[in-house]
Amino acid sequence: MDCTLPPDVRKWKESMRRFVERELVPREHTLPPFANTLPEEVTAGIVAQLKSEGLWGLAVPREYGGAGLGLVALCALREALGHTTLWSLARLLGTEPPILLYDCNEDQKRRFLLPTLQGKRYGCFALTEPNAGSDAAALKMRAEPDGKDHFLLSGRKIFTSHADEADYALVFALTPPAGGAAREGITLFLVETDTPGLRILRQLDTMGGDRPSELLFEDCRVPAANIVGVPGDAFGLAQKWFACDRIALQPPIAIGAAARCLAMARAANAAPDAQIGQLALRVYVAREMLYHAAWKADQGLDVRHEASMVKATATTTGLEVVDQVLQWFGPAGYGRDLPFERYYRDLRRFTIAAGTYEIQQFIVARALLRGFSPLNCFAGAEAAAGGRQPGPAHT
């Protein structure tokens, strides 16, 4: 057993940490308090620099022009990125196409995946609806056939992050014949955001930088050629996305942010080592859980339960650490000169978005009650545990 990062990943992570210190931390004060965008040319400049330093697309598979370092590397880079409040700028690492795009057919890959990997096009993920959040399988968006080659989408999506900047959306909709089990009949469409019949109703202002949108679809005509995978069978795809996303999206950021706050607290002598040590130990544990799950995913193993354990642990721990460090710094910690308040506001969404904390807890408990032990989930112990069953229908 070797629980340490591979040497090349460690090297890239160190480069990313240096990049963050040199290029991003000095720009933190320019981030508008209630947005996560910088002027277009600034972001483009950062991306160009990341590319020139080889820090772009590291986790992207080789066949698509990336370095193929996998989820472990993505987590390592994002952990380093968490050391700045600018982590929430979109598109920084070139690794953010929803991994569902890897399930596209060749034509779709050419139109959506490749340009996204090159940073030329940008997608958003529209699953949640006003009446279907945690219980995502209860979604109501309909897609009716229109002629042989098209579907008409109608309904509402809400909390779609980055919809305002996106060129296309991944939209989950019900395709007839409806009925049958709840998760059957859900189909994934790639929808160009300039398609007539689709519009942004409003952006939801939040306490953090994210401003997700509410989308209205009125007879929005989408070619059948834009269906990803098998029609009616998209929920399995969504679950696959959740597992990787729950590992790589928020937890590494929460851990990097917590690490930075604790380092600042210790440098400023803001609290006794007994208290700093307790929190640091919990962050350390969350990080072990993160890389174990990422490594397992890279081996092609089922990580649904681990993903939920990682997400529930890392996001709550990160938030608690930021909150505590802010408290230790007193009024100064509450102010904008220090990064804590920004972290606090941005990290607060982690226990809601992409599957709430409560749902992760439920998934973990149910796994144990059904007799799988996510506890002894080590290669070598797997066979004894007797395989796994499909995961839950929850975002």
Partner 1 sequence: MDFTLPASAEQLRQAADRFVQEALLPHEGLLPPAEGTLPEDVRHRVTERRRALGLWGLGVPPAAGGMGLGWMERALVQERVQRSLLGLWPQGLLAAGDPPAALHAMRGAQREEYLQPCLDGRRIAHQILLPGGARAGGAPGLRAMPTPEGAVLSGTWTAVPALCTEDVLLVVAEMQGRLQGFLCDRGLPGYRVCRRRPGMGSVELADLAWEDCRLETARILPDAGPAALLWRAAQRVTVFGAGALGAAERCLEIGLDHIRRRQTFGRPLADRQAIQWMVADSARELHGARLLLYRAASLADRGDRDSAQDLAGPAMAYAAEAACRTVDRVLQMHGGYGYTRELPIERFWRDLRFYRVADGSNDTLVADAAGMLVADLSA
Q: Does 154 bind ligand FAD (CB under 6 A)?
A: no
Parallel/antiparallel/unpaired status of strands 142-146 and 186-192: unpaired
What number of chain residues touch ligand FAD (CB under 6 A)? 22
**Dist CA 287 CA 299 (whole Å):** 18
Instruction: Show Cβ contacts of residue 215 under 8 Å, excluding neighbours closer than 6 positions.
Output: 126, 156, 157, 158, 160, 163, 169, 198, 199, 200, 201
Q: What does 300-330 look like in DSSP terms, one character per residue?
A: T---HHHHHHHHHHHHHHHHHHHHHHHHHHT
Q: Which stretch binds ligand FAD (CB under 6 A): 17-25, 81-89, 157-165, 232-240?
A: 157-165
Which entry of partner 1, ligand FAD, none binds 159, CB below 5 to 8 A by partner kind? ligand FAD
Cα dihedral 63/106/238/375 (nearest 10): -30
Contacting ligand FAD within 352-371 (CB under 6 A): 352-356, 358-359, 362
Residues near partner 1 (CB under 8 A): 1-6, 9, 14, 17, 72, 255, 258-260, 262-263, 266, 272-274, 276-278, 280-289, 291-292, 295-296, 306, 309, 312-313, 360-362, 364-369, 374-375, 377-381, 384
Identify the bridge partners of residue 189 per DSSP, sorted by sequence position: 171, 227
Least separation in angstroms between CB 62 and partner 1 = 19
Contacting ligand FAD within 334-353 (CB under 6 A): 349, 352-353
**Dist CA 68 CA 64 (whole Å):** 9
Which entry of ligand FAD, partner 1, none binds 134, CB below 5 to 8 A by partner kind? ligand FAD
Which entry of ligand FAD, partner 1, none binds 379, CB below 5 to 8 A by partner kind? partner 1
Which entry of ligand FAD, partner 1, none binds 270, CB below 5 to 8 A by partner kind? none
Where are the strands (E) in 17-126, listed by range?
A: 123-126
Q: Which helix (H) or strand (E) holds 368?
A: helix 357-369
Q: Which helix (H) or strand (E) holds 342?
A: helix 340-347
Of the pair 70, 133, the CB lying nearest ligand FAD is at 133
Which entry of partner 1, ligand FAD, none binds 5, CB below 5 to 8 A by partner kind? partner 1
DSSP state of 323: H
DSSP state of 126: E
Structure-block tokens of residue 174? 């019900």
Q: Does 391 bind ligand FAD (CB under 6 A)?
A: no
Of the pair 143, 359, the CB lying nearest ligand FAD is at 359
Q: Does residue 177 have a cis peptide bond before it, meaning omega lies within 30 degrees of 0?
A: yes
Of the pair 108, 161, the CB lying nearest ligand FAD is at 161
- Of 392, 183, 368, 218, nearest to 304 by C-alpha is 392
Considering only 125, 151, 343, 350, the residue that binds ligand FAD (CB under 6 A) is 125
In single-letter form, the type of residue at position 301 comes to L
Of the pair 55, 126, the CB lying nearest ligand FAD is at 126
Q: Does 159 bind ligand FAD (CB under 6 A)?
A: yes
Q: Does 160 bind ligand FAD (CB under 6 A)?
A: yes
Of the pair 53, 192, the CB lying nearest ligand FAD is at 192
Which entry of ligand FAD, partner 1, none binds 365, CB below 5 to 8 A by partner kind? partner 1
The distance from CA 5 to its chain's CA centroid, rounded to whole angstroms, is: 21
Q: Does 212 bind ligand FAD (CB under 6 A)?
A: yes
